Amino acid sequence: MFFCISKLNEYNRTDISQLRQFPPWFLLLLIKWCVIHGDFLSPDRKHLTDKDFAALINLIHDLNGYVRLPSHYDTNFLFFRNIAYQQVWFQERNFLRFVRQSLIFGGLTEDHEFRRIFYDKKGLTIEQFIDLGFMIFGKFLQNKGPLIEIGWFRLVNSVYPTNLIDHFLSKLSHDIDSLRAFLTSNESRYRDVSYEFHEQTPLKEYPLLKYQDKYYCYSKELLFAALNDFIYDSLRGVDPQFFMNKFGSIFESYVNDVLSYSEADFISEKDLKQSLTSSKKVVDFLVYDSDSCIFIDAKGVELAFLGMVSHKSEVVEDKSRSSVIKAIAQGYETAANLAANPNTTNLVLNKDRFLLVVTYKDLYLGNGQDFYQEIAGDKLHQIVEGHGGQKWIPFQHIYFISIDDLELMIQCAKDSHRKISDLIRFAVSQDETPINKKLIFRDHIYSTCDNVKTPSYLSKEIDRITNNLARILKSNENK
C-alpha cells in the first residue's frame, strides 16, 4: 500500500510514460483491494520489492483487458465519458472550487439548517473547515512528501487547539481497520469489478490514511478533489433528496451573482414568470443581446453513481431524467412561450438560441447533439414533437456545463471583450468537426482565451481567508 502512496505522490501530470506505466486510478484501486483483502497482521508476510510491485501493476493492466471493453458500451461516447469521469480530476488542480465552497456555504445565514447539519455530522463549523482546509492546500502545494502531522498546525493553536485539529483530521482520514469497514460496508456497490475499473475512487471520501498517529496523503490530486467537494458531499450524503430540495435555490442565487458579475443583460426566473403567466415551466435565466438569447437553467446536481459509470444509454437517460431532460423541456417551453407573447417575441425570434444547463459538478454529457444521438434520442424527440416539430433550440446549441465552465466563460468574455454568445458559437463551430470536438466545455474556453484570470469575487475570497489566517498566525506569535 505504501508503495502505491509513494508512487502517487511522485505523480507528474506531464510525464506520459509514468502515466502509462503507473496509472493513478490503478494505484488507488490497488490500495482499495489491499485494504479490503490484505492481511496486515500475518507474521508470514513478505517484504514487497520493486520487482513485486511492478508485477502487481502489470497484473492490473492485464485484468483491465478482461473487464468492460469499449465494445461493451452502447456507444463510444459513453466509453469516453466514463474515462473522463474517472480521470479528468487527476489532470486539474482546481483550487477555485474550494474557494467557491466558502462563498456558497460560508455565506449562509447563521441559522441556516445546512450549518447545523454540517456541524452535527463533522463537529466543525463551515468556517473552521475552510480555514484548516486552506492550510492543507498550502502545505501540499509547497511540499512533495505525503506526510502531515498534527504538530504542523501548531502555528494556529491560539485559535485551533490540538484536540480540534485532531478532530478535523479524523474527518478526512481512516486507519486501516476503519477504512476496511468503510469500504466493505459499501461492498454491494462495487460487486461488479468492471465498475471498479471506471469509478472515481471511494477513497475520495477519506483522502488521508492514519498510520501510527501520522497522516499520509494517498495522492495530492485526490486530497484536493476531496477538499473541493467536502462541504457539498458531506451535506448531500446525509439525505440527497432533502439536500437537493434546499440547495437548488442557493445554487440559483450563486449563478445569479455570477451573471451579474458578467454585466450581460439577463432576465431572472421571477420576471420570466411574470411575463409568461400561463407558463408553468420556465428556465432560471435568460441572457440576451442583439443577435442571440441564452436560456440558462441552474441544476445544482450530480448524477447518481450508475448515471456516471454505466455503459448503458438507458441507465444514463434514466438518471438524468429529473435534471438534464427536465431542463431541456423547460428551455423549449420558455422559448416557445416567449415567441408567442407579443411583448417578448423580440427576445427570441430571428436570433440564435442557446441553452446552458449549469450544474455544480461536471456531468460529462457533451452537448445536446451528443445527448440526443448517444443517450436520450427518444426523450428529446418527444420534446420537439410536443412543440409541433419546432426545434426552438437546436440540439447542437445545448450545453451541459459545470459552474467552473460558466465562470471561466464569463471571465474570458470580460477579458477578451467578447459576448458570451460569441464564445458559445465558437464551441459550436469547434464541435462540428471530430478533431476539434471537446467533451468538457471549458476546454473550448482554454482554446480561445489564454490565461483566463480568476474572477474578482473569488480573488477577494482568497484574500479574506488568507488575511484571516494571517491574523491567527500573528495572535499565536504574540501568545
Residue 193 falls inside a structural domain: yes
Residues 6+ apart with CB under 8 A from 96: 404, 407, 454, 458
- 4, 27 contact by CB (below 8 A): yes
The answer on pLDDT for 15 being more than 80 is no
For 75-120, the pLDDT digits (tens) are: 999 999 998 988 888 877 778 899 999 999 999 999 999 999 999 9
- The C-alpha angle 464, 467, 473, rounded to 5 degrees, equals 145
Q: Provide the β-strand partners of residue 173.
A: 208
Same domain for 228 and 277? no
- Put the strands of the sheet holding 352-359 in their side by side order: 266-268, 285-288, 292-299, 352-359, 398-402
Q: Is 396 helix (H, G, I), strand (E, B) or coil?
A: helix
* Residues 286, 296: Cα–Cα separation, whole Å: 6
Q: What is the pLDDT of residue 188?
A: 47
| Percent of the chain's residues with pLDDT above 90 | 67
Same domain for 335 and 376? yes
Give the helix/strand (H/E) hosting 165: helix 162-170
Same domain for 47 and 103? yes
For 392-421, the pLDDT digits (tens) are: 999 999 999 999 999 999 999 999 999 999
E strand map for 373-455: 398-402
Same domain for 39 and 4? yes
- Model pTM score: 0.92
Indicate which CATH number applies to the domain containing 438: 3.40.91
The one-letter amino acid code at 335 reads A
Residues 6+ apart with CB under 8 A from 15: none
User: How far out from the chain centre does Cα 408 lie?
Assistant: 14
C-alpha cell of residue 81: 465519458
- 106, 98 contact by CB (below 8 A): no
C-alpha cell of residue 89: 480530476
Q: What is the pLDDT of residue 14?
A: 66
For 135-156, the pLDDT digits (tens) are: 999 888 887 788 998 989 988 9
Structural domain tally of the chain? 2
User: How far out from the chain centre does Cα 337 lie?
Assistant: 33
Same domain for 363 and 437? yes
Same domain for 57 and 141? yes
Same domain for 136 and 260? no
Same domain for 322 and 205? no
Last residue of a domain, one of 210, 238, 266: 238
Domain that holds residue 165: 1-238
Residue 340 falls inside a structural domain: yes
| Percent of the chain's residues with pLDDT above 70 | 96
Mean per-residue pLDDT of the chain: 90
Residue 458 falls inside a structural domain: no
Confidence of residue 479 (pLDDT cuts 50, 70, 90): low
Question: Between 151 and 41, where is the model more confident?
Answer: 151
DSSP 346: G
For 167-196, the pLDDT digits (tens) are: 999 999 999 999 999 988 865 454 567 778
